[in-house]
Structures are given as C-alpha cells and as structure tokens.
Structure 1
Amino acid sequence: MERRGFLRGAVAGGAAAAFGYTLMRGAAYAAPAQPGPGPYGALGTADANGLQLPAGFTSRVVARSGQRVAGTSYVWHSAPDGGACFADGSGWIYVSNSEISSTGGAGAIRFDASGDITSAYRILSNTNRNCAGGATPWNTWLSCEEVSSGYVYETDPWGVKAAVRRAAMGRFNHEAAAADPVRKVVYLTEDASDGCFYRFVPNTWGDLSAGTLQVLKAGTATSGSYTWATVPDPDGSPTATRNQVSGAKRFNGGEGCHYANDTVWFTTKGDGRVWRLNLSASTYELAYDDSLVSGSAPLTGVDNITGASSGDLYVAEDGGNMEICVITPDEVVAPFVRILGQSGSEICGPAFSPDGRRLYFSSQRGTSGSSSGGITYEVTGPFRA
C-alpha cells in the first residue's frame, strides 16, 4: 500500500447515501488541482494529539493498536488501514482494515448519536495484509488482501454475519473496490507496477458469490476509449489475471477507487496519477498527474480518499508531510490536517460519519514507526455542507 497514487474526482449522488456515506453534491474536476487557500484557512499550532487543524476543529484519539478501545474489551488491531463509515440508526460504525500478514482482517468501532463509543469488535480475522476495500450499497465492507493471489472478503460492519471470501472476484494483489449501482458492477484496482483495472459483474446484484471478472482494455496513451474483456481464469493460476487478456491496459500501482455519477476514478501510485473513466462514453483520461502541478505541491505521497457533502475531497498522504489535503470543487488543493512527529507512518482510512460532522482516519504506524503503534483519530468541526 505504500506510496499510493492520488485519487481526485467528483463524489455525489443517491448511491453515496446507500453506501452509508454522506450524500454529496455532484461536481466535475478538471486536471490538475492547483495550490491555493483552503476553505477553512491556515492550519493552527499542534493540539495535544499532535494534530495541526484549522480554527474551529478539534481532535480526539478513539483507538490505539494493542490497547483496548475505551469502554470496551476489544483490543484495537495493528496497522489500521482502509476504512469506511456505515449508518447505524442514529449512530454509526467505523470499520478499519488491518494490514498485517497472516493475522490481518478488520475491526469496527460503534458510536451512538452523540459520538460516544458503545462497542468495538472484530469483523474479519486471520487474513493477509488487508489494505483498502470499499463499501457496498447493501451495507457490507469489502476487505481486500494486498498480496499476490489475494482475495476479497465481504464482511458485516455489525459483526453479526460471518465474513465470506468472494473468490469469484479474482485472486490478485487487490487494493480497493468501488460499487457502481447503475451498471451493477464492482470496480477493482490492482497494486502491481504492471497491474490492471477490473470490474466484477455479479450474476445477481447484491450477491457477490458468482459472476464474471473483466479487465479494462485500451491503448498505451493517457486518454482514449476502452472496452472490457472477460478474464478466462479469475483464480490467476498458473497465469496471473493481468496476463490473461491481450491488450489489457497496464497501470503503475493501482490504489484508491471511487465511483460517482457515471464516473469512476482510480489512482496509480507509481506515477502519481489519477485516472478518470467516463462510463457513459466509455472513455478514459488523466484527472491528475503530480508532475502537472505548478509550483510546490502541498499534496504528495497521495493515498486514500473520501468526500464531504460540499463536494470537497479529502486525500490522505502516505509519507509526504503526513497531511490530509482538501481538494475543492473549484480545483484548489490545500492542507486540512497535519500530524506531527510521525514521519515513519502514513495516513489511512479517511471516512466521514453519516452526518458529515466527524472525520475518522488512522496513522498506521504512529509515533513508533511500527505497525503496533497505529493510532485512529476523530476530527470534529464546522465541515461545510
């Protein structure tokens, strides 16, 4: 997952609400966003948690790796990574992956309407380097293994139903997933220097147990038209999925993935790019390239992404200045939060509570630089609607 690419795009539509995320206004982002003043002003001095935030925002630590989540018996997992929020009545649940070899998986923290923690628990155990993933419209979390021959696991944020391995979605170095309820498919990124971009077409929408894995085919240019082709053997053995279809387009280290409004955006860490697919027109293009930013880029080491009701995007850094930067619909990029004293870590799993008032994220290795030192934060404040 290290040194992820940067995902930038519009996030909107009724599908977002169905995923348990904040409903967001539609917006179109042209490439590239440029540095400028952020919507919340400059960052202040560091608070007691080592976070620099704009005026009016506050932070708290909600979990630390190896320690019990406050008020519960659950010990928070090491190397917290990709995450998402799910509505739970008047409260919500924050789900977080654990990017640990062999004993990874995912955990969850449950909050009431006031934001108080009511419980914490495991929803997936003993899987391998669970990095990113994605929410589904039927309120499950797809937890993806970032290893060769990795699987996607469908999990229950409430921890009631047992997690299920979705082998039909292919075995490869999985990273992120994004559901498209219009075309009734799930898009998938592959974290490999010669990786591909996929979509899974389930036989029945809402049931990921069976279906067809397809790979994107296109030319070598950074823009053009594309088609989809079926991967003959999603199991990827003996031939890797990315090598089974002639003409499959290669992407340098696929990372984050997001769908909204007939568009899917995905990032490639190896070249610092964001790719945009216009699903209605079957065309693709660059939405961002870090080499196209004029001057000094405030956003480097780009990683996970989430969005707010304003249409603002929040992009976490793997390295860089340990910031989450905001990209506005006006295509301005600026720091929103900076974590001090954790240069050996990365920021993972940004996700808003359903009411849009709280932003959750983790520092995967915290101040120690070790996977056992992860810290999960909450930031509250006047996020614009």
Structure 2
Amino acid sequence: MRRRNFLRGAVIGTSAAAFGGSLWRGAAYAAPAQPGTGPYGALGAADANGIQLPNGFTSRVIARSGQTVPGTSHSWHNAPDGGAVYADGSGWIYVSNSEIPLIGGASAVKFDSSGTVTGAYSILSGTNTNCAGGATPWNTWLSCEEVSRGYVYETDPWGAKAAVRRDAMGRFKHEAAACDPVRKTIYLTEDESDGCFYRFTPATWGDLSSGTLEVMVGGTETSGPVTWAVVPDIDGSPTTRSQVAGAKKFNGGEGCHYSSGICYFTSKGDNRVWAYDAAAATIDLVYDDSLVSGTAPLTGVDNVTVTSGSARDIFVAEDGGNMEICVITQDGVIAPFLRINGQSGSEITGPAFTPDGSRLYFSSQRGTSGSTLGGGITYEVTGPFRS
C-alpha cells in the first residue's frame, strides 16, 4: 500500500495540532494545501506545443537541446534544469543549468524589451551534473553540482566574468540555493534520501569566498521550532549530513526559493513542499500528497518559484507525475497551472519569472524523445499572472 493512501484515511479531518499551523501563511490553517479551483481557472485544450494552459495564456518554444537558439549562433545545452531570470536594462536574461555528467555547465538566453531573443551563450562549462541553483541579490547565478561531494559555482549571467568555484559553501550533493537578503545567508538543499537543509552565511555579504556552513537541527516533526549547528568539516569527508547529531533529515531535497521572509523548499521522496519561517525559526508543511483529500494534483515535486507580487503564488514543477506545474495559493489551494502532453518520459525544470511577472520560463528536460541528449525543450509562457 502506498504511503499516501495509508495516511490519507488516518489523517484528513484531524486537528491542526497534528501537523502544526500554517506558519508559511502567517495565520492559523488546519492542514497543508488541498485541491480546489485555482486562481487561473481550468486548463484549456493543448496548444500547438502540446501545452494545456488557462484562458489568456500562450506558450512558445525558446530553445531545443543540440540545436542553435533561433537568432543566435549558440547551440542549446542538453538536459536543461534549474534556471533564473535577471533584469538587463529594459530586457532580461534567462539562465539554465545542464544536468549532464562531467560536461554539465550552464547557458543563458538574452531578450530585449519585446521578448525577442538577442543572444545566447555559455556561462559555465566542464562541471558535473549541474542540477538546480539560485540567483543572488548581486546578480550572479549559483550553479550546483548534484553529485556526491559536489561544488557550488558562482557564475555571471552576462558571460563577462569567469565562473568561480565556491568551496566554502561545502561539498555535498547540492540541489538548489536561495538567498535571504535580510539575514544575509543562503539556504541550500541536498538531494539525498537522508539529506539535510543547510545555510551558508558569508563572512562578507556579497562575497562567497569564505563563511560558515550550518545544518538545520530539529528532530522528526513536520512543524515547529528548529535550530542551526555548524558543520565541522565542510569538504564532505565524512559526509556533511552525518557530522551533526540531531541534524534534521529531508527525503530528497529539491527546489528552494526565498520570498518575503519564508524559504520554500521541496523533498521529492515524500512529495512535500516545506516552508521555513526565517524570523520565527520554524518549519511547516505547505503541501504533502499523502494528506490530500481525493486525488493529489502534485506528485514528483521538484523545482519551485514564487511570484514577486503580493499574491505570492507558489509554482511547483513536477518531475514526472502528469508533467504539470501546479500553483499553491497563500489560502492553501493547490491546482494545476499547466500540463505538457506527450512527454511522459521527461520532467519540468527551471521555472522562473521575468522581473515584471508577465512571463514564465521553464524546460522539459528530455522532451518528446525522453532522452537527455538532444531531447530538452525550453519554453516561455506569457499571460495575466497575478501580481
């Protein structure tokens, strides 16, 4: 019997005390998000790209792995994964990792104010299985290696400066990173079945060459207070996740995004979306597929992003599942926002919004072919996103 089915009957309808309050919303809430009518309405029929979208939204293909990005001379990388968008004058830049062993790296696509592609280029090469990462407030991209004793590389989205390996951020199976500019620290996820949740505090904010790596400590509860403890040996031997007694474990850490005092992150092994309230030093569950009444709309949780406006909608991409990006509102409603058809052998990666919130970029890592070599497709969706 699947864990989801076993727990659903035992849990739905119990008190808030069983799972904690909704610390991620800042108000009492009886349980993690439940299916409902989303803020964008029902999905329409698939468009020419095979994507089902709500009314008012359109999609286009930006790039395909192994092919020249239209309007440029740059060949788009294989297995596109984590991504971010950076303002560039009146235009913007979308950065994307390559989750390929030994020759991974990252590339960028540059757009003008109308959304026309004006350039594409590599910003990192020769690294190993670059999965997710995160943007910094000083406009660099942290590209993370998802391998044992992997590194974090700080890269330049404009491609003008050489990438720098940031050893002080620790060696472990890095997944994603999210910067907290208020507390001047960076949260990090670890893609292991007994992985941890970390924070790296630079000695000088904006300079990642030195600092302190800590791991979250806090028992086995899914909500409540947590603390932090220094990782004694950051080079990963022994593994960073095994060095601190009481380090809190997360089953396959994936995406990570900071917004308005909350760091949202996901764990794929148990299909959960978490929230760390940085001011209160507490965690809570935003979503758990085993606690859903009825059919769970989101499985295979992966990369996550949050809209920049007051709505603070949480967008979570699926690794498998129904190939959907689901939206979770701050009122605790979860619903599909889009679905990609005909690509069941792939996963959705790298969701990121433009600074004005009008366009969403993401990739299907293996596309219609299901292959990491030449299968990836990077998309843009435009429409009336909530601000």
Q: Structure 2 length as normaliser, TM-score?
A: 0.90
Letter in 1 for 2:290: S
Q: Report the CA distance between 1:384 and its aligned residue.
A: 2.6
Alignment partner, residue 350 of structure 1:
351
CA distance in 2, matches of 1:200, 1:330: 31
Q: Call closer, same or farther: CA 1:329–1:262 in 2, change over 3 Å.
A: closer
Q: How does 1:115-194 map to 2 (within 5 A)?
A: 115-194=115-194
* Structure 1 residue 28: Cα displacement: 4.6
Is residue 259–residue 306 contact of structure 2 (8 Å, CA) maintained in 1?
A: no
**2:39 paired with 1:39:** yes
2:338 match: 337
Amino acid paired to 1:327: I
Structure 2 equivalent of residue 375 of structure 1: 377
RMSD value, Cα = 1.4
Q: What are the Cα deviations for residues 320-353 of structure 1, in whole angstroms up to 9, with x where unaligned?
A: 1111111222222111111110000000001111
Q: In the aligned structure 1, how far is the partner of 2:328 from the partner of 2:283?
A: 21
Q: What's 1:291 paired with?
A: 290
Cα deviation 1:168-199 (Å, max 9, x = unaligned): 00000000101111111111111101111111
Q: 1:75: which partner in 2?
A: 75
In the alignment, the residues of structure 1 paired with residue 220 and residue 41 of structure 2 have an alpha-carbon distance, to the nearest angstrom, of 41
Residue 313 (structure 1) shift: 1.8
Question: In the alignment, what sits opposite 2:251?
Answer: 252
Q: SS in structure 2 opposite 1:71? A: coil
Alignment check: 8 A CA contact 1:322 1:347 kept: yes
2:321 and 2:161 map into 1 onto residues whose CA distance is 39
Letter of the structure 1 residue corresponding to residue 378 of structure 2 = T
Aligned to 2:124, the other structure's residue is in SS state strand
> Post-superposition shift, 1:284?
2.3
Query: What SS does structure 2 have at the residue aligned with 1:32?
Result: coil
Q: What residue is the counterpart of 1:235 in the other structure?
A: 235
User: Counterparts of 1:311 and 1:245 in 2: how far apart (Å)?
Assistant: 34
In the alignment, the residues of structure 1 paired with residue 299 and residue 26 of structure 2 have an alpha-carbon distance, to the nearest angstrom, of 22
Deviation at 1:249, TM superposition (A): 1.5
Secondary structure of residue in 1 paired with 2:263: strand
1 CA distance for matches of 2:285 and 2:357?
Answer: 29
Q: Is the 8 A contact 1:28 1:329 kept in 2?
A: no
C-alpha distance in structure 2 between counterparts of 1:265 and 1:44, whole Å: 29
Give the 3-state SS of the residue equivalent to 1:78 in structure 2. coil
Deviation (angstroms), 1:27 = 5.3
Secondary structure in 2 matching 1:373 = coil
How far off its partner does 1:260 sit?
A: 2.4
Residues matched between the structures, number: 359
Corresponding residue for 2:99? Answer: 99
- Aligned residue in 1 for 2:19: none
Structure 2 segments unaligned to the other structure (5+ residues): 1-23
Amino acid at match of 2:132: A
**Could you tell me which amino acid in structure 2 is paired with residue 360 of structure 1?**
Y
Shift of 1:262: 2.7
- Considering Cα pairs closer than 8 Å and 6+ residues apart, tell me whether 1 or 2 has the greater RCO: 1
Q: Which residue of 1 aligns with 2:280?
A: 281
Q: Post-superposition shift, 1:224?
A: 3.1
For 1:249, the aligned partner's letter is K
Seen in structure 2, the aligned counterparts of structure 1 residues 123 and 257 have a Cα distance that, compared at 3 Å, is same
Deviations 1:188-227 (A, max 9, x none): 1111011111111111000000111111111222233222
1: CA distance between counterparts of 2:267 and 2:288?
A: 10
Structure 1 stretches of 4+ with a deviation exceeding 3 A read 26-31
Partners in 1 of 2:95 and 2:232 — Cα distance? Answer: 33
Aligned-partner residue type, residue 384 of structure 1: R
Q: CA deviation at 1:121?
A: 0.3
The Cα shift of 1:244 comes to: 1.3
The answer (yes or no) to whether the contact 1:196–1:251 under 8 Å persists in 2 is yes
Distance across 2 between alignment mates of 1:295 and 1:302: 18
Moved more, 46-55 or 32-41: 32-41
2:331 is the counterpart of 1:359: no
TM-score normalised by structure 1 residue count: 0.90
Q: List per-residue Cα deviations over 1:214-249 (Å, max 9, x = no partner).
A: 111112222332221111110112x11111112211
Contact 2:272–2:301 (Cα < 8 Å) also in 1: no
Question: Matched residues in 2 for 1:106 and 1:188: separation?
Answer: 19
The AA in structure 2 aligned to 1:154 is E
Contact 1:304 1:348 survives alignment (8 Å): yes
| CA 1:276–1:56: 2 relative to 1, 3 Å | closer
Within 2, Cα distance between the matches of 1:180 and 1:286? 20
**Alpha-carbon contact 1:27-1:311 (below 8 Å) kept:** no
Query: Aligned-pair distance for 1:92?
Result: 0.2
3-state SS of paired residue (1:384): coil
Contact 2:34 2:333 in 1 (8 A): yes
Aligned to 2:100, the other structure's residue is in SS state: coil
Match of 2:328 in 1: 327
Residues 285 and 334 of structure 1: CA distance in aligned 2, closer, same or farther (over 3 Å): closer
How far apart, CA to CA, are the structure 2 residues paired with 1:145 and 1:136? 17
For 1:161 and 1:187, how far apart are their aligned partners in 2? 24
